[in-house]
Structure 1
């Protein structure tokens, strides 16, 4: 990998993240690399400025923060084909990030990147577009929205918790009407996020699939459904008298959806590319560590795995 121009985004209002970003920037500039640096957070989105001011292709984005910071980078940079090296600085779970300890030897990071001694993990993303009226109208009325974890359609109000009525179609065929708190349309990456909190299934991020999970439905028969990656999920808000239905992208507000409009969610035409530095990376180890799987209350040693069989 060439390191001619690099983005460094640090978690907004986190001193350690900013300090590490400044250190990385100084070292990369000594290597002749141009650095675009700034904070990233709910109220800070530096990526449009970075992309507009880049005079030449951006080789890499170094993201110093937690999963939320990495998700924000993926939404903005994946459509541009920019790989992401995410490092957990000031984050919590860290499903998508390298551990903080890799920053103890940043010179080795630059050497490995320049020597192509790393892996690239490609993760499926979702895209969504709003349409007005019935399916004969194919003219979109919004920009294309992207998400790495999930698209979520649910209402939002300041003074109360509104309930939504949402009709879902898959490839133009009505599946169900959901009466509850909303619907989550997730990727395999997002299956360990909001979806798992709503009792959805866990999917390996190496596969392509779409998971639709109702949030607190008022029908006990409403369950998650796993769809092929080529499916288009259409969601119509019904009985929304307060006009409060919103589209959320990885937990960030995207746009409002009014009755008479629908949002079509499908697999994105781009993927998120994450740089993996860990030589012993394991998705299942990540699940055990991050979800704190304890297993059985009584632990038995599996001697058969070690080539030993009891008499």
Structure 2
């Protein structure tokens, strides 16, 4: 990998993340690399400025923070095909990040990257747009939104908790009407986040699939489903006359859904590309450690396992 132009994004408001970003910037500039550095957070989105201010290719994005910081970077950088080195600096769970211990010797990290001594993990993304008008000849009424974890259609109000009534169709076929807190349309990566909390299925990130999970439905028969990756999921809010229904992408507000509009979600044409420094990456180990899977209360020795 060439390191001629690199983005460094750090968690806004976190002193440790910013300090490491400054260290990385000095080291990369000493290697004749142009660095674009800035904070990323709820009120800070440096990526549009970075992407619009360059003419040459961006080789890498180093993102220092927790899962929220990483999700924000994937939404912005995946459509541009920029690989992401995500490191848990100042974060909490760190489900999507490389361990800080492998990053601490940063000079060695740059040597590894320039020597192509790393792996690349690609993760499926979703895209969503709003449409309006006649169902058979719809008119696009929003920009394109991306997510790495999930698209969520649910209402929000300042002074009350409104119930959503949502009709969902998959590939033009009506599946059901859901009454409850909302619907989650998740990637395999997002299956271990909000979707898992709503009792959705956990899907290996090596698969391409889409899960749809109702949030607190007012029916015991409303169940999560897993559908093929090329399916198109249309979600129609019903009975909302106060503009409460919103489209959320990775838990961030994307846009409001006006009466007469619907959200259309499908697999994105782009993939999020993450650099893996670990020599023995295991999704199942991540599940055990990050989600604290306890397993059986009594542990038995397995004499057939030699390692």
TM over 0.5: yes
1:100 Cα deviation from its structure 2 partner:
1.3
Question: Matched residue of 2:138: which SS?
Answer: coil
Q: How many positions carry a matched residue from both structures? A: 307
Q: Please state if 1:166 is matched with 2:166.
A: yes
Aligned to 2:119: 119
Per-residue displacement from partner, 1:130-169 (whole Å, max 9, x unpaired)? 1002322333111110000000000000111110000000
Aligned to 2:248: 248
Aligned to 1:193: 193
Unaligned runs of 5+ in 2: none
Contact 1:62 1:85 in 2 (8 A): yes
The TM-score normalised by the length of structure 2 is 0.99
1:55 Cα deviation from its structure 2 partner:
2.5
Aligned to 1:91: 91
Cα root mean square deviation, aligned:
0.9
Whole-angstrom distance in 1 between the partners of 2:121 and 2:150: 18
Contact 1:64 1:89 in 2 (8 A): yes
Aligned to 2:3: 3
1:243 Cα deviation from its structure 2 partner:
1.3
Contact 1:236 1:259 in 2 (8 A): no
Structure-to-structure mapping, 1:31-50, within 5 angstroms: 31-50=31-50
Q: Please state if 1:286 is matched with 2:286.
A: yes
Question: Matched residue of 2:129: which SS?
Answer: strand
Unaligned runs of 5+ in 1: none
Question: Matched residue of 1:73: which SS?
Answer: helix
Aligned to 2:110: 110
Whole-angstrom distance in 2 between the partners of 1:136 and 1:216: 31
Whole-angstrom distance in 2 between the partners of 1:124 and 1:135: 28
Aligned to 1:76: 76
Structure 1: 4+ residue segments shifted above 3 A = none
Question: Matched residue of 2:305: which SS?
Answer: helix
* More displaced 10-residue stretch of structure 1: 136-145 or 13-22: 136-145
Aligned to 2:226: 226
The TM-score normalised by the length of structure 1 is 0.97
Whole-angstrom distance in 2 between the partners of 1:301 and 1:103: 35
